Amino acid sequence: MELKNNIHPSAERLNATFAALSDATRRAILARLAQGEATVSELAAPFAMTQPAISKHLKVLESAGLIVRERDAQRRPSRLNAAPLAEATQWLAEYRQFWTSSFARLDGLLEELKDTRKKNKKHKHKHKKHHKEVPR
């Protein structure tokens, strides 16, 4: 699949992105990091889990390329890297275009069917007016 600017996301990168996004905790971490960088302890605060458990989630996000972890003296802040999200969004947009055009074709077909039914009803109605049945 070709994306804008001839960028071709690898299947592995898309798989890693969607796998990372499949977990609600990781999505919440990304939402938090969209507001700015944070340390493991800051990221762990809203969750009922240990820092090592949060660190495992961060490793998944980092290996998917969704976050970057840096060393800053004693701190090791994480920050969002949105490029894989943009690639996933573009990949999904290709399918959105497919479904949009499919639905548009379906709408056209339904309108044709409605018009045909209306014409058939008018024809039957006219036919009944001109040809009254004789009782037997």
Express each pLDDT in 15-26 by its tens digit: 999 999 999 999
In this prediction, the residues of the chain whose per-residue pLDDT falls under 70 are 1-9, 123, 125-136
Quick: pLDDT tens for 26-53: 999 999 999 999 999 999 999 999 999 9
What are the angstrom distances between the C-alpha of 60 and each of 13, 69, 130?
12, 12, 77
Measured CA to CA in angstroms, residue 108 lies from 100, 113, 120, 121 at distances of: 12, 9, 18, 20
Supply the CATH classification number for the domain 7-82.
Answer: 1.10.10.10
Give the whole-number percent of the chain exceeding pLDDT 90: 52
Tell me the three state secondary structure of residue 132.
coil
Q: Whole-prediction pTM value?
A: 0.67
